[in-house]
Amino acid sequence: MISIRNVSLTYPNGVRALDNVTLEIAKGDFLFLVGSSGTGKSSLLKLLYHDAIPSHGEIVVDGIRVDKLRGARVASLRRHLGVIFQDFKLLNDKTVWENVAFAMHVTGAHTREIERQVPRTLDLVGLAHKSRMFPSELSGGEQQRTAIARAIVNNPKLLLCDEPTGNLDPENTAEIMDLLLRINTKGTTVVVATHNQSVVDRMRKRVVRLEDGRIFTDEERGFYYLGLGQGQVLSG
């Protein structure tokens, strides 16, 4: 599904966010991306939806050379994947309903389809009662769930989640992770960048740890910290 080969990314201000990263993600995989703050997780995801273009190396998503895309092709790529942005990126002058529906509209979905799918998805993330609110009228966690709903509403083949539960309480977090797991079992490839140790430790999925823009560890059925199980913590 995803093939990242020898990719480096240097931002215009000179910061080297990724340094010769090579990573293969199979179709239907569920992968956690962990690593300390500022280590390049979001940057790696940005490469996959063409929000950043690698300085070196190549990126293939679902058979498409993403780093070579231009114009309408970029839009087409983005319509085929779902992204939960770390900072949500909700449209402030649209309601929750409209924000989610917008992602369907751009795919050219029919109105009937939209009117069936949007409420179902909002229900999944527990926001049905907030569908007429604007983002500024939502709590942090509710905004985050709106962003999640928007990402999954199109049943994308690839779902990129950047810190999807940073503003959610443990119950909501568990529900959302269950939801992602269900989506994954239906065949969607899911990549989750997260800092939430207990989430990673409980799920026992593939864990890739980045440090300083490089891949540090890559474990099947891993933990947040290499070899440490749920509930255990490093040092004190």
Partner 1 sequence: MDWGKVKFFLGEVGRNFTRNAGMQATAIGTVAVTVVLLGLFLFVRLTLAGVGDRLLKQIEISVYFHTNATPAQENHLRDVLRADQRVTSFTFVPKAEGLKQLRRQTQGSIDVSMLTQNPLPDKFRVRVGDPSEVSAVADSLRGEPGVANVVYGKTIVGRLLQLGVVLRRVSIALIVALLCVAAIIISNTIRLTVYARRREIAIMQLVGATATYVRMPFVCEGVLHGLLGSLVALLILGIGKAALWSKLALALPWLELNGTHVALLPIALQLLLVGVAIGALSSWFSIGRYLRT
Ligand X SMILES: Nc1ncnc2c1ncn2[C@@H]1O[C@H](COP(=O)(O)OP(=O)(O)OP(=O)(O)O)[C@@H](O)[C@H]1O
Which pairs with CB-CB distance under 8 Å and at least 24 residues apart come from 227-230?
228/201, 229/201, 230/198, 230/201, 230/202
DSSP H stretches of helix in the chain: 41-48, 72-79, 96-105, 111-124, 140-152, 170-185, 197-203
* Binding partner selected for residue 93 from partner 1, a copy of itself, ligand X, none, CB under the kind-specific 5 to 8 Å limit: partner 1
Binding to a copy of itself by CB under 8 A, coded x per residue (else -) over 23-52, reads -----------xxxxxx-xxx---------
Please select the residue that binds a copy of itself; options are 173, 184, 188, 189, rule is CB under 8 A: 173
In whole angstroms, the minimum distance from the beta carbon of 71 to partner 1 comes to 5
Encoded amino acid at 228, one letter: L
Alpha carbons 201 and 11: distance in angstroms, whole number: 32
49 binds, among partner 1, ligand X, Mg ion, none (CB under 5 to 8 A by kind): partner 1
Size of the site for Mg ion (CB under 5 A): 4
When asked if residue 55 is in the footprint of ligand X (CB under 6 A), the reply is: no
Q: How far apart are the C-alpha atoms of 75 and 50, rounded to whole Å?
A: 9
In the chain, what are the helix, strand and coil shares in percent, each to the nearest 5? 35, 25, 40
Considering only CA atoms, which of 98, 94, 148 is closest in space to residue 118?
A: 98
| Residues of this chain, 136-195, that bind Mg ion according to CB under 5 A | 139-140
Q: How far is the CB of 42 from partner 1 (least distance, A)?
A: 13
What residues pair up with 189 in beta bridges, in sequence order? 158
Number of residues that bind partner 1 (CB under 8 A): 31
d(CA 233, CA 86): 25
Q: Which residues pair with 97 in a beta bridge?
A: none
- φ, ψ (nearest 5 deg) of residue 90: -85, 155
| Binding partner selected for residue 197 from a copy of itself, Mg ion, ligand X, none, CB under the kind-specific 5 to 8 Å limit | a copy of itself
Residue 145 binding result from ligand X, a copy of itself, partner 1, none, given CB thresholds of 5 to 8 Å by partner type: a copy of itself
Which residues bind to ligand X, rule: CB under 6 A? 11, 13, 15, 17, 35, 37-43, 86, 130, 136-142, 167
Contact residues: a copy of itself, CB under 8 A: 11, 13, 15, 34-39, 41-43, 86-87, 130, 133, 137-145, 162-163, 166-173, 195, 197-198, 224, 231-234
Residues that bind Mg ion (CB under 5 A): 42, 86, 139-140
